[in-house]
């Protein structure tokens, strides 16, 4: 499993900002855009850049804490 796969990421519509917001709270605050599919690709690229930068600098990545919500039966 790649490092990026440990981190939960998602895209959601923001009524307040009238745009899509891409999030990965364990690593970045977020990015925004008009096309949700392109935004998800961009979000993954930004996260990969953050991971590579941390690895290059010898910094420890934060543990992934954010998880998708599960339905309760």
**Other C-beta atoms lying within 10 Å of the C-beta of residue 71:** 4
Q: Indicate the SS3 state at residue 28.
A: strand
Q: How confident is the model at residue 1 (pLDDT cuts 50, 70, 90)?
A: confident
Domain boundaries, given as residue ranges, for the chain: 3-57
62 CB-contact burial (10 Å; exposed 0-12 / middle 13-18 / buried 19+): exposed
Return the pLDDT at 34. Answer: 97
User: Mind listing the pLDDT tens digit for each residue in 48-73?
Assistant: 999 999 999 999 999 998 876 666 55
Determine contact, residues 35/22, Cβ cutoff 8 Å: no
Average pLDDT rounded to a whole number, residues 23-31: 95
CATH of domain 3-57: 3.30.160.250
Q: Which residues share a beta bridge with 10? A: 23
Q: Give the angle 67-43-52 at the CA atoms, nearest 5°.
A: 90
């Amino acid at each position: 499993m790649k490092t990026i796969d440990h981190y939960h990421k998602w895209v959601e519509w923001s009524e307040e900002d009238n745009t899509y917001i891409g999030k990965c709270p364990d690593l970045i605050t977020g990015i925004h855009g008009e096309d949700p599919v392109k935004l998800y690709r961009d979000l993954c690229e930004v996260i990969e850049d953050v991971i590579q930068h941390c690895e290059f600098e010898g910094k420890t990545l934060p543990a992934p804490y954010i998880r998708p919500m599960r339905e309760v039966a």
